[in-house]
Amino acid sequence: MLRDQNIKVDTEKFDSLMNEQKAKAKAAWKGSGDSSTEGDFKILLEKYGVNEFVGYNNITYTSKIIALLDENFKEVTSLEKGTTGWVMLDKTPFYATSGGQNGDIGALEDNEHIAIISETAKFHGLNLSKVNVENSTINQGEEVEAVVVNRYEIAKHHSATHLLQSALKIVLGDTVAQAGSLNDDKRLRFDFTYPKAMSKDEIEEVEDLVNTMIARNIQGSVEELPIDEAKKKGAIAMFGEKYGDTVRVVKFGDVSVEFCGGTHVRNTNDIGSFYITKESGVSAGVRRIEAVCGNSAISYAKSCIKKYEDVQTEVKNNNVLVGIKKLKDQIKELKKELEEAQNSSSAPVQEEMIGDTKVVVDIVKNGDIKKLVDDYKNGNEKVAILLIQAKGEKVMLVAGSKNTAVKAGDWIKAVAPIVGGGGGGRADFAQAGGKDVSKIEDAKQAALEFVKGFIKGNG
């Protein structure tokens, strides 16, 4: 096809650019749960192999430090006080971020020192924890007590995510599929395929269903099965995860069966209360639910109660709805009073008769001057009227004429420039705006001279 168009391909340049792109892609690559591709990971794998995760049944464990890395992932034999690096334990209770679940945090303790674990991640199969050395040097080969501090709350949110997916399928239909998730110790976030926003009733129904599942005290179970057998049991695969021949299946009675390598509660009742805090759109055909449970649900409920109490104080009524209704009634009455005040001038406007024509030119402090002009036109057979009103730093002018030779539009055009404005309109009605409030008396005098001269000149 290119040959037909007499176009040649620079194959050498193409190969060069392709190799460059491959290098960029390799540098940016992140495997399932893996956090970096640069560092001494190959060396660690050759020396020690993959370390063992023992955190499914333990949140404390006596472990041996088999390797240490500095902040640049280079192997070192020790980390001094005040430094940050990464620790590899032979057997670790710290769960590494994967499958939508945040990694564990905690501490390494012994009789001499304490080091804080602020993050746990996977690096090419290695489970490594980020360590901040607090008060003394830690060394390769040391034995420490590894303590996880956030496990239970993360487990609650992860298990609640499983129940949430089941509830969504019940309420919205089996076409709902997971499109992403996040579970930490403060909240859960679940993305799912669905073509439109959920209604308020649907959200409430899903929330109620999850709380019902929690209240049923459903015992959780975990087993490792051949992947084909797990699929036959109806286990749902987690979004974006890769699976081997044998998979870990997490089950909660008859409500949830999923492939999952994460940590979970033993019984749904351990989750506590569950609240959906937000439902929103992520992209076309993908919705997101954010929710809390466990300690975060307690905090959420307390904050809602506090807000309600604040509203009670503001409306000065323990029955908030009654208090709000009273305020709305008061606002309605005040609006009515304001409208009545605006529709009545503070003093009668000045009138005079020139021949058989009623002439009105005045400055009105308050009221609706458009309505006043209309009222004069409706109440008089022959009238020429121009009213001026200051509104803050601006000036408003309205003119009307009925059965006279005075053209309202020409009248306005003659007067408006005095207050730094302009405008116009029809022969019977015109209006303008200005910005020089200090000149409204001059504008009034000019308006009187214009109308008197016009009427007398045409009398």
Q: Do 408 and 267 share a structural domain?
A: no
Last residue of a domain, one of 99, 115, 149: 149
Q: Do 393 and 270 share a structural domain?
A: no
103-143: pLDDT as tens digits = 999 999 987 778 999 999 999 999 999 999 988 889 999 99
Q: Do 445 and 373 share a structural domain?
A: yes
Q: Do 178 and 72 share a structural domain?
A: no
What's the pLDDT score for residue 16? 59
Q: Do 288 and 395 share a structural domain?
A: no
Q: Do 251 and 286 share a structural domain?
A: yes
245-268: pLDDT as tens digits = 888 999 999 999 999 999 999 999
What's the pLDDT score for residue 456? 77
Q: Do 62 and 96 share a structural domain?
A: yes
Let me know if residue 16 belongs to a domain.
Answer: no
Query: Mean of the per-residue pLDDT values for the chain?
Result: 88
Res 232 pLDDT > 90 = no
Domain CATH code at residue 99: 2.40.30.130
Res 73 pLDDT > 70 = yes
What's the pLDDT score for residue 13? 54
* Range scoring the smallest mean pLDDT among 2-11, 60-69, 139-148: 2-11
Instruction: Give the structural domain span for 318.
Output: 310-341
Q: Give the mean model confidence (pLDDT) for residues 284-302.
A: 96
Let me know if residue 177 belongs to a domain.
Answer: yes
Task: Identify the residue with better confidence: 39 or 146.
Answer: 146
Per-residue confidence at 328, pLDDT binned at 50, 70, 90? very high
Domain CATH code at residue 413: 3.10.310.40
Q: Give the mean model confidence (pLDDT) for residues 194-216.
A: 97
Cβ 259 vs Cβ 243: under 8 Å: yes
Let me know if residue 11 belongs to a domain.
Answer: no
The three-state (H, E, C) secondary structure of 135-170, written as one string: CCCEECCCEEEEEECCHHHHHHHHHHHHHHHHHHHH
Q: Give the mean model confidence (pLDDT) for residues 25-30.
A: 38
Q: Do 185 and 223 share a structural domain?
A: yes
Q: Give the mean model confidence (pLDDT) for residues 66-87.
A: 94
Q: Do 174 and 273 share a structural domain?
A: yes
What's the pLDDT score for residue 393? 87
Let me know if residue 140 belongs to a domain.
Answer: yes
What's the pLDDT score for residue 25? 37
pLDDT cut 70: percent of the chain above it:
88
Q: How many CA within 13 A on the CB side of residue 326?
A: 11
Domain CATH code at residue 165: 3.30.980.10
What's the pLDDT score for residue 391? 85
What's the pLDDT score for residue 99? 86
Res 344 pLDDT > 80 = no
Let me know if residue 31 belongs to a domain.
Answer: no
Let me know if residue 238 belongs to a domain.
Answer: yes
Last residue of a domain, one of 103, 133, 149: 149
37-51: pLDDT as tens digits = 678 999 999 999 999
What's the pLDDT score for residue 23? 47
What's the pLDDT score for residue 342? 65
Distance CA 391, CA 282 (A): 46
What's the pLDDT score for residue 5? 46
Last residue of a domain, one of 149, 182, 213: 149
Q: Do 314 and 205 share a structural domain?
A: no
* Burial of 173: CB neighbours in 10 Å, binned 0-12, 13-18, 19+: exposed
299-325: pLDDT as tens digits = 999 999 999 999 999 988 899 899 999
Res 210 pLDDT > 90 = yes
Let me know if residue 2 belongs to a domain.
Answer: no
Q: Give the mean model confidence (pLDDT) for residues 159-170.
A: 97
Number of domains in the chain: 4
| Residue the block writes with tokens 């501490």 | 107
Q: Do 335 and 361 share a structural domain?
A: no
Q: What are phi and psi of 63, to 5 degrees?
A: -120, 160
Per-residue confidence at 28, pLDDT binned at 50, 70, 90? very low
Res 343 pLDDT > 50 = yes
Q: Do 318 and 247 share a structural domain?
A: no
What's the pLDDT score for residue 10? 53
Per-residue confidence at 238, pLDDT binned at 50, 70, 90? low
Pairing of strands 52-53, 91-92: parallel
pLDDT cut 90: percent of the chain above it:
68
Res 221 pLDDT > 70 = yes
Per-residue confidence at 18, pLDDT binned at 50, 70, 90? very low
* Range scoring the smallest mean pLDDT among 21-35, 106-120, 374-388: 21-35
What's the pLDDT score for residue 337? 73
Instruction: Please state the pTM of the whole predicted model.
Output: 0.68
Let me know if residue 21 belongs to a domain.
Answer: no
